[in-house]
Amino acid sequence: MSDTDALVARGIGKSFAAAKGSPEVLALDEVSIEVGTGAISALVGPDGAGKTTLLRLAAGLMVADAGTMIVLGIDPARDPQAVQDRISYMPQRFGLYDDLSVQENLDLYADLHGVSREARRTRYTRLMEMTDLGRFTARPAGKLSGGMKQKLGLACTLVRSPELLLLDEPTVGVDPLSRRELWDIVEQLVREENLSVLVSTSYMDEAARCARVTILHEGRVLAAGTPESIRGTAAGLCFAVTPPAGQAARHVQAALLDDCGIVDAVPRGGRVRVVCTKEATARDDSLPAPLAGKDAAAVEPSLEDGVMLALRAKVHRDFATAAAVGTSTARPPKGDGKVIEVTDLVRRFGDFTAVDRTSFSVDRGEIFGLLGPNGAGKTTTFRMLCGLLPASSGSLRVAGYDLRRARARARQEIGYVSQKFALYGNLSVDENLTFFGGAYGLHGARLRDRMASVKAQFDLDAAARTPAGQLPGGFRQRLAMAAALLHEPEILFLDEPTSGADPLARREFWRRITALAEGGTTAVVTTHFMEEAEYCDRVVIQDEGKVLALGTPADIRRQAGERPQAQLDMEQAFIAIVQQHRKAERGSGQAAA
Amino acid sequence: MNAAGPDRRGAFLRRLAALVRKEVKQLLRDRSNLMMGIALPVVLILIFGYGLSFDVKNAPLAVVMEDTSPAANDLVAGMRLSPYLDPRPVHDMPQAERLMLDREVNGILRIPPDFSRRLTLGDAHLQLILHGADANTARTVQGYVQSALQAAGTREDSIGSVRLEQRLWFNEANTSTWFLVPGLVVLITTLVGAFLTALVMAREWERGTLEALFVTPVRPVEILLAKIIPYFGVGLIGLAMCLLAARFLFRVPIEGSLLLILLVSVFYLFVALGIGLLISAVTKNQFTASQVALIVSFMPALMLSGFIYDLRNMPLVVQGVGRALPATYFLQTLKSLFLAGNLWPMVLKNCAILLGYAVVLLAAARAKTRKRVG
């Protein structure tokens, strides 16, 4: 190993005993990584890729089945305490004590690390300045917002300067503004204290800020190197396609994604970002075959483009089957107009206002997005729309029914896919569908027809007898959607459907939703991935219970101050809008004072 | 190495103090902990002291007067004097049976037509029918009736009648609170030591707070000690409440030494803490930990320690289970210290057994609490 590496892992293997009877799950297989001293390295991958397992192995909290791991010159399997004395680790659910105040949490970790009184004074001042928690030192940690909790968690691991900092998805579910602030803190410490950091993330933009990136997929290393080297693999393959006037980017994107000459296509900034296969781009100068006749221009590759290239080389996925969903549910729309109308919606929990005077409407056949960080009020809004939570005040019409009066009838017209898997794990696919069909009042031939139809739509026929609990993640989501569509609802509600999913599964999901919307079903989706707003016809951005912006993705970007010469992505637009809003709040606050 | 000694101890004490401070603050701020640590023992004391009693007083008894002679009337009058019986004369058996079926009475005493005639011959017979649904009450009523008859019989100068004098040692008045209170001490110590401790420790596993704590210089033994110290304190508070209630509320005599009672309780508290910490280290989940703690510590302490049911009346297998329970030894010791006095051989033997359990369980909890996740 070289002297400049804080952590070196070679050929790490780790498997877990899964449920009784089923084979062991290989969490890590032949994984090798290095973490350079004085730099940030990233582990990138979806849920279940093996990121947390690798970090726990490095922290001496688990022992590998194979391979060698050296952390700061020590084998963490042999002498975990020696490693734990010198590193800091922030687990995904950071263990803050909710009953203890911000100060008490910090003091606990300072005491455990043996930080002296004098050292503490200067360190605390600095941490408070960086995290902006100085005003809240007496507040119990349980009463902090999601972003502030993460910052306090980070501060607790930084009560002293560790020789290696391990961060497990420190920004998951955190709003883009707090996310940026957390990264600024870490980067500042790397510069000033020569901190070595290994961070896991599912965000590509975060990985792009690191010195070294290891992409994990299903326990294996998909790609590793500097962000530049991974990005470089897609050089010359990337294009931006401008959709013809009057056509939404997602329609063009959907068609391109089905093409076998195309590795990846995503809507970005009103255009479609495309990565072509090497075969398709082999011809010089002219556009690749799949883009012929389109308004396309070559663009610089991004890290995500490089990752998608590596991913598609390993994993075969046919997006065209996902598109089949639309044609089979096609039915005559029950007239145009608004299927959801929300006016001055308010929901209070005690003295806390989770949703504050929110108004918007959704048209038939629209894909409507609710965007915002954890705690923004999107889940509360969502639950009220589904009739799961009564509103404190305001009016709510869903599918033509007033939710205050005809909640049961409105429910007949909606399908709901919750964030957690809400089907019965020990019932088979068929049994689950029969049960949910019965719950919606379907029986006999009608139920059989509908079951056959949704199974065909969601490609579930092969798994009909498999217990739902044993299905892989992507299958489960398809089953959940199939169950929610059995009674042919007008509106499908999906709560955080792409959270923790891998990039391919996310694209496949949006491909299905696009197809469904073409068939006339309205889809309302919550997400904390800002770039997914581009798949929506219109979105509402919420923060702290208030609507900050409402409109098409292009409207939102314009509202955020986008100009033709300075394009914004949705994330930048979100940050700009939140900052505008906070500045306005402060302005009015000062005016009042 | 020598220089590192005091240094290392300093670091150990500093970390332990920090963890204990944290634990005490959490204990005081979380209302559910306080409810279970302080309020529940108070409720148990009141329920067991006032609500629950195995005494039978004024037990209603139907008396079928088929013989109306003065001798039979004397007999009923004698029973009426007893504070434990409430005789209700009826005319015939069917009426008595109706009362019995409606559970208006606990039993039927039938005085046959030839009662007085045969009494003079020294060969009188009475029929006593008891409602057996509640066997404990039935037996108690049987005893009361017998002693009432005995009392009546002694007044007659009947030849050959035997005087039977019953005495209950160690609990002259047969007041059930007297033997309920030692049981209460066992229950409350188990509740705080095993149940509450298992819950708060499992909560740390479940919420992931331990995962963050593990990757610091803290040692597992410090984490365990930081749980033991405050909950030992809570256990002592519960114990003190029980002893005060025993002395001043229920007036239970304390025949043995108070110091010995405290000593054996401390030993048992360590056993209970060991059970709680071991359960949480194995289950790592609040719900499972609370269920397991209930099933392996609280319920057996209630049912199988000899608190409610005498172990010797149980099937051999169940007796074996009872004898394996630390609570059994604690209860046995407490009962004799409260009601009989310092029976040294038994106290010493049981203390040694409890100490053995404490050492084994705490060592097992230490072995199971490793800085490992997943």
Contact B213 A112 (CB under 8 A): yes
State whether A131 and A182 are in the same domain.
yes
Task: Answer yes or no: is pLDDT of A123 > 80.
Answer: yes
Give the confidence band of A327 by pLDDT, cuts at 50, 70, 90. very low
Task: Answer yes or no: is pLDDT of A192 > 50.
Answer: yes
Q: How many residue pairs bridge chain A and chain B with CB atoms within 8 Å of each other?
A: 92
pLDDT for the residue numbered A330: 44
The Cα of B287 is separated from the nearest Cα of chain A by a number of Å equal to 19
pLDDT for the residue numbered B32: 85
State whether B47 and B130 are in the same domain.
no
E strand or H helix that includes residue B331 = helix B326-339
Average pLDDT of the segment spanning A421-442? 90
- With an 8 Å Cβ cutoff, the interface of chain B facing chain A consists of 11, 14-15, 17-19, 21-22, 25-26, 29-30, 204, 207-219, 371-374
pLDDT for the residue numbered B47: 83
Contact B216 A104 (CB under 8 A): no
Q: Give the Cα separation of A186 and A303 in Å (integer).
A: 21
Task: Answer yes or no: is pLDDT of A593 > 50.
Answer: no
pLDDT for the residue numbered B171: 52
Identify whether B166 is part of a domain: no
Whole-number mean pLDDT of chain A? 88
State whether B70 and B215 are in the same domain.
no
More confident residue, A108 or B91: A108
State whether B355 and B275 are in the same domain.
yes
- Residue A98 one-letter amino acid: D
State whether A335 and A247 are in the same domain.
no
Q: Give the Cα separation of A46 and A505 in Å (integer).
A: 10
Q: Give the Cα separation of A494 and A382 in Å (integer).
A: 9
State whether B232 and B212 are in the same domain.
yes
State whether B25 and B140 are in the same domain.
no
Contacts of B31 in chain A (CB under 8 A): none
Q: How far is CA A261 from CA A237, A264, A401, in A?
A: 11, 9, 46
State whether A206 and A239 are in the same domain.
no
State whether A160 and A288 are in the same domain.
no
Is residue B23 within 8 A of residue A108, CB to CB? The reply is no
State whether A406 and A514 are in the same domain.
yes
State whether B215 and B119 are in the same domain.
no
Identify whether A478 is part of a domain: no
- Among all residues of chain B, which has the CA nearest to that of A27? B374
The Cα of A24 is separated from the nearest Cα of chain B by a number of Å equal to 14
Percent of chain A with pLDDT over 90: 51
pLDDT 10s digits, A45-97? 888 889 999 999 999 999 999 999 999 999 999 999 999 999 999 998 877 99
pLDDT for the residue numbered A1: 44
Contact B212 A107 (CB under 8 A): no
Identify whether A297 is part of a domain: yes
- Residue B318 belongs to domain spanning: 18-52+175-368
Percent of chain B with pLDDT over 90: 38
State whether A192 and A304 are in the same domain.
no
Instruction: Dig out the tokens for B18 from the structure.
Output: 């920090």
Task: Answer yes or no: is pLDDT of A185 > 60.
Answer: yes
State whether A373 and A304 are in the same domain.
no
Give the confidence band of B289 by pLDDT, cuts at 50, 70, 90. very high
- Among all residues of chain A, which has the CA nearest to that of B17? A111
Contacts of A198 in chain B (CB under 8 A): none
More confident residue, A3 or B364: B364
Q: Which of A316, A348, A380 is the last residue of a domain?
A: A316
State whether A199 and A253 are in the same domain.
no
State whether A99 and A184 are in the same domain.
yes
pLDDT for the residue numbered B308: 75
Which DSSP symbol is given to B366?
H
Instruction: Dig out the tokens for B230 from the structure.
Output: 């405050």
Identify whether A454 is part of a domain: no
Which CATH number is B97's domain given? 3.40.1710.10
Contact B219 A59 (CB under 8 A): no
Instruction: Dig out the tokens for B323 from the structure.
Output: 């004898």
Contacts of A91 in chain B (CB under 8 A): 208, 211-212
pLDDT for the residue numbered A372: 80
The strand order across the sheet containing A25-36 reads A25-36, A5-16, A66-71
Average pLDDT of the segment spanning B68-85? 82
State whether A257 and A200 are in the same domain.
no
Average pLDDT of the segment spanning B212-235? 95
pLDDT for the residue numbered A329: 46
Identify whether A462 is part of a domain: no
More confident residue, A423 or A36: A36
Q: Which of A316, A351, A373 is the last residue of a domain?
A: A316
Is residue B332 within 8 A of residue B179, CB to CB? The reply is no
Average pLDDT of the segment spanning A174-181? 84
pLDDT for the residue numbered B362: 96
Contact B217 A16 (CB under 8 A): no
The Cα of B368 is separated from the nearest Cα of chain A by a number of Å equal to 14
Contact A112 B11 (CB under 8 A): no
Task: Answer yes or no: is pLDDT of B217 > 90.
Answer: yes
pLDDT for the residue numbered A266: 92
β-strand partners of B40: none
pLDDT 10s digits, A400-412? 888 888 888 888 8
Contact B371 A81 (CB under 8 A): yes
Contacts of A140 in chain B (CB under 8 A): 29
- Among all residues of chain A, which has the CA nearest to that of B19? A108
Contact B22 A104 (CB under 8 A): yes
pLDDT for the residue numbered B60: 87
- Candidates B215, B227, B371: best to mutate against A (most CBs of A within 10 A) is B215
CA Rg value for chain B:
28
Identify whether B168 is part of a domain: no
* Residue the block writes with tokens 């960086």: A130
- Residue A407 belongs to domain spanning: 329-413+489-583
Identify whether A210 is part of a domain: yes
State whether B183 and B144 are in the same domain.
no
pLDDT for the residue numbered B161: 45
Q: Give the Cα separation of B77 and B108 in Å (integer).
A: 16
Contacts of A87 in chain B (CB under 8 A): 215
State whether B309 and B344 are in the same domain.
yes
Whole-number mean pLDDT of chain B? 84
Q: How far is CA A552 from CA A244, A344, A559, in A?
A: 17, 21, 11
DSSP H helix total and E strand total for chain A = 19, 23
Name the domain count of chain B.
2
Helix axes A444-457, A429-439, angle to 10 degrees: 130
State whether A267 and A344 are in the same domain.
no
Identify whether B255 is part of a domain: yes
CA angle B294, B300, B302 (to 5 degrees): 95
The Cα of B30 is separated from the nearest Cα of chain A by a number of Å equal to 7
State whether B293 and B257 are in the same domain.
yes
- Candidates A55, A83, A111, A172: best to mutate against B (most CBs of B within 10 A) is A111
The Cα of A121 is separated from the nearest Cα of chain B by a number of Å equal to 18
Q: Which of B368, B374, B371, B372 is closest to B278 using CA atoms?
A: B368
Identify whether B163 is part of a domain: no
Identify whether B80 is part of a domain: yes
Q: What is the DSSP string of A286-338?
A: SPPGGGTTSEEEE----HHHHHHHHHHHH----HHHHHHHHHHH----S-SSE
Contacts of A92 in chain B (CB under 8 A): 208
Identify whether A175 is part of a domain: yes
Task: Answer yes or no: is pLDDT of B151 > 80.
Answer: no
Q: Which segment of A389-403, A542-556, B32-46, B117-131 scores lowest on mean pLDDT?
A: B117-131
Q: Which of B155, B187, B214 is the last residue of a domain?
A: B155
Identify whether B167 is part of a domain: no
Contact B217 A95 (CB under 8 A): no
- Among all residues of chain A, which has the CA nearest to that of B374? A62
Residues in chain A: 593
More confident residue, A562 or A432: A432
Name the domain count of chain A.
3
Contact A99 B214 (CB under 8 A): no
Q: Which of B18, B26, B208 sits opposite A112 (nearest CB)?
A: B18
Is residue B182 within 8 A of residue B61, CB to CB? The reply is no
Contact A60 B26 (CB under 8 A): no
Average pLDDT of the segment spanning A378-385? 88
Task: Answer yes or no: is pLDDT of B164 > 50.
Answer: no
pLDDT 10s digits, B232-284? 999 999 899 988 988 888 888 888 999 999 999 999 999 999 999 999 999 99
E strand or H helix that includes residue B108 = strand B107-111
Q: What is the DSSP string of A368-396?
A: EEEE--TTSSHHHHHHHHTTSS--SEEEE
- Among all residues of chain B, which has the CA nearest to that of A88? B215
Q: Which of A16, A61, A166 sits opposite B371 (nearest CB)?
A: A61
Identify whether B136 is part of a domain: yes
- Candidates A54, A97, A154, A166: best to mutate against B (most CBs of B within 10 A) is A97
Give the confidence band of B224 by pLDDT, cuts at 50, 70, 90. very high
Average pLDDT of the segment spanning B290-318? 85
Contacts of B209 in chain A (CB under 8 A): 95-97
Contact B217 A94 (CB under 8 A): no
Contact A88 B210 (CB under 8 A): no
Average pLDDT of the segment spanning A20-33? 81
More confident residue, A162 or A322: A162
Which DSSP symbol is given to A1?
-
Task: Answer yes or no: is pLDDT of A374 > 60.
Answer: yes
Is residue A480 within 8 A of residue A417, CB to CB? The reply is yes
Q: What is the DSSP string of A399-449?
A: TTEETTT-HHHHHHTEEEE-SS--S-TTSBHHHHHHHHHHHTT--HHHHHH
Is residue A508 within 8 A of residue A317, CB to CB? The reply is yes
State whether B151 and B179 are in the same domain.
no
pLDDT for the residue numbered B55: 63
Which CATH number is A104's domain given? 3.40.50.300
Q: Which of B26, B207, B374 sits opposite A100 (nearest CB)?
A: B26
Give the confidence band of A590 by pLDDT, cuts at 50, 70, 90. low
Q: How far is CA B274 from CA A287, A337, B188, B236, B368, in A?
A: 73, 67, 15, 16, 11
Identify whether A213 is part of a domain: yes
State whether B338 and B199 are in the same domain.
yes
Is residue B198 within 8 A of residue B292, CB to CB? The reply is yes
Which CATH number is A268's domain given? 3.30.70
Identify whether A67 is part of a domain: yes
The Cα of A32 is separated from the nearest Cα of chain B by a number of Å equal to 21
Contact B374 A61 (CB under 8 A): yes
Give the confidence band of A284 by pLDDT, cuts at 50, 70, 90. low
This complex has an ipTM of: 0.81
pLDDT for the residue numbered B45: 84
Q: Which of A177, A194, A220 is the last residue of a domain?
A: A220
Identify whether B162 is part of a domain: no
Q: Which of A87, A88, A111 sits opposite B15 (nearest CB)?
A: A111
The Cα of B372 is separated from the nearest Cα of chain A by a number of Å equal to 4
E strand or H helix that includes residue A53 = helix A51-58
pLDDT 10s digits, B111-126? 888 888 887 777 777 8
State whether A293 and A376 are in the same domain.
no
pLDDT for the residue numbered A323: 65
